[in-house]
Structure 1
Amino acid sequence: MSSPRHRAAVLGSPIAHSLSPVLHRAAHAALGLSDWTYDRFEVDEAALPGFVAGLDASWAGLSLTMPLKRAIIPLLDEISDTAASVEAVNTVVFTEDGRRLGDNTDIPGMVAALRERGVEKVDSAAVLGAGATASSALAALARVCTGPVTAYVRSEARAAEMRGWGERLGVDVRTADWSDAAHALRAPLVIATTPAGTTDALATDVPTTPGTLFDVLYDPWPTPLAAAWSGNGGGVVGGLDLLVHQAVFQVEEMSGRSPGPLREMRAAGERALASR
């Protein structure tokens, strides 16, 4: 019998590059959810309220990417503490009684990706960048890092933002200028949250015995920094690891099936990236 709620999709702008359909469809196949569909829709902030209002009872959930992670919040009935902590929702689940529940799976996805590579606890860390992903990184570090986190940023305004997030999340955040970013690479855990190309110049500064690098990019991969890092024997967690782990949590929430098929979803993502 067909599930009454069997539709899901990722929304954002731009959205054509999204790997979410590949990952979710692989999960549905692995879980035997043959009547489920997962699509992508180009939706900006102005179009979001109308799109959500037009969804019927066949919808199980939504994945949100930029620029919708904050814009979706006023349209929801409730959001999780995790999502509220960073004012960002990347997952919406529609309940049988029609409620819209928002969550953030990026944060537990980061923690799970680190744990998969053996990083359970560190006594200090560094964050490169200060955008939306950086606040999620701080929320993840609140669960992983027992000591100070130094954020390397380009302006005092960004520095103040990161210190503010630290206060809110209970993380001891210190800030440093981007010109000193080479010093970040000495930390036991470095999380790079910047756009493609931003950290390329740091590849020549990787220590001879590096700790762990979490680079949130996945295409192209590896980044020059990640390649230099692994070349020196350091542990590397990539953007695909994050993408897959956060999608596993989304699948579990939308379908009610657990555990999500991590291995099949990762394999599907790797195939899709290899064919680009």
Structure 2
Amino acid sequence: MRLSSQDAAAARPVRNGHQAAVLGHPIGHSKSPALHRAAYELIGFDCSYRAIDVTPEELPGFVRSLRAEPGWAGLSVTMPLKSAMVGQMDRTSELVQVLGVLNTVVVNYDGEGRVSLFGDNTDVAGIVGALRHGGVRDGAPALILGGGGTAAAAAAALAQLNASSATVCLRDPAKAVGVRQVAAHFGLPLEVRSWDETAAAAASAATVISTLPPHGADALASLLADDPVPRAGRVLLDAAYDPWPSGIAGEWHRQGGTVVHGLEMLIYQAVEQVRLFAGERFTDAAAVTNVMCDAVGAPRR
């Protein structure tokens, strides 16, 4: 078991035989190995990549083991470790400090082989890339479903897209504290509503981002079906990509809206992870994006 560190990918020394991994629990469904392996083969980065099941309770021991083992390039981090991993870092990016969660760990070694772990967050870049690919334009009002770490990343992404405002709907509005703080930090006007108001909020939103787990928005799909409205020109990004299509994605499409597959977010955030892990070997983001699309059956750009 292992882990990884540092932002300044350009300063990474050239080493042979790196290894990297995605950590989470459960993790068997992850498509990250397919994405990263395809990218590494394209750019000639000698690095293995696998999925490792790690629980929050196992995480400190995993990190200790990683620090004692040479050759790590980095880690992708998914649920339920995105918050817990932050405290294991030597340094974090400003974005992680604002969001309170990370999804990327870069491992760096000094001249004497000492390890330094740097935590970063590429989920924001993933959401921005996915929404731009789906045709989202700057200045559109948006709706976020859910209030966890991915919802916080969604708020940061919407701020980058210059959204005019955002609404967050979740079952317990008291749990929206983190999203509120992120929105305030980036100057994004934000309103928090209860789950009962979701259908009404979706009727006026030009962009909807669901950060709920699989089937988490099924009830909303039923509400949308009961009260259909024209959604042409409106974009839904559902971060949950398995099973697909989700109930809400299917209903959004039936009402004429544009649906962005959750894999799009996964692809764009993985491209940025490869940039951090591979350093100077990463020279062509478009080519990396396309081989990742091939790896998971998504259309090329």
Question: Scaled by the length of structure 2, what TM-score is found?
Answer: 0.83
Q: Is the 8 A contact 1:213 1:236 kept in 2?
A: yes
Equivalent position to 2:61, from 37, 50, 55 = 50
Ranges in structure 1 where 5+ consecutive residues have no aligned partner:
272-276
Summarize the alignment of residues 57-136 of structure 1 with structure 2, pairs less than 5 Å apart. Answer: 57-97=70-110, 98-136=115-153
Distance 1:197 1:136, change over 3 A: same
Aligned to 2:231: 209
Q: How far did 1:239 drift?
A: 0.9
For 1:16 and 1:245, locate their aligned partners in 2 and report how far apart those are by CA, in whole Å. 21
Q: How far did 1:93 drift?
A: 0.9
For 2:85 and 2:38, locate their aligned partners in 1 and report how far apart those are by CA, in whole Å. 26
The number of equivalent residue pairs is 269
SS in 2 for 1:145: coil
Q: Is the 8 A contact 1:138 1:165 kept in 2?
A: yes
Decide which moves more: 41-50 or 203-212: 203-212
The answer as to 2:284 corresponding to 1:259 is: yes
The answer as to 2:24 corresponding to 1:12 is: yes
Structure with more relative contact order (C-alpha pairs < 8 Å, separation 6 or more): 2
Distance 1:161 1:53, change over 3 A: closer
For 2:139 and 2:261, locate their aligned partners in 1 and report how far apart those are by CA, in whole Å. 18
For 1:201 and 1:29, locate their aligned partners in 2 and report how far apart those are by CA, in whole Å. 42
Ranges in structure 2 where 5+ consecutive residues have no aligned partner:
1-13
Decide which moves more: 170-179 or 230-239: 230-239
Distance 1:161 1:76, change over 3 A: closer
Aligned to 1:236: 259
Aligned to 1:39: 50
SS in 2 for 1:72: helix
SS in 1 for 2:51: strand
For 2:92 and 2:177, locate their aligned partners in 1 and report how far apart those are by CA, in whole Å. 26
Tell me the amino acid that sits aligned with residue 159 of structure 2: A
Equivalent position to 1:249, from 266, 272, 275 = 272
Q: Is the 8 A contact 2:169 2:193 kept in 1?
A: yes
For 2:180 and 2:213, locate their aligned partners in 1 and report how far apart those are by CA, in whole Å. 21
Distance 1:110 1:6, change over 3 A: same
The answer as to 2:247 corresponding to 1:224 is: yes
User: Deviation digits for residues 51-108 of structure 1, max 9, x if unmatched?
Assistant: 2222222111111111211222222121111221111111111124232111100011
SS in 1 for 2:84: coil
Aligned to 1:146: 163
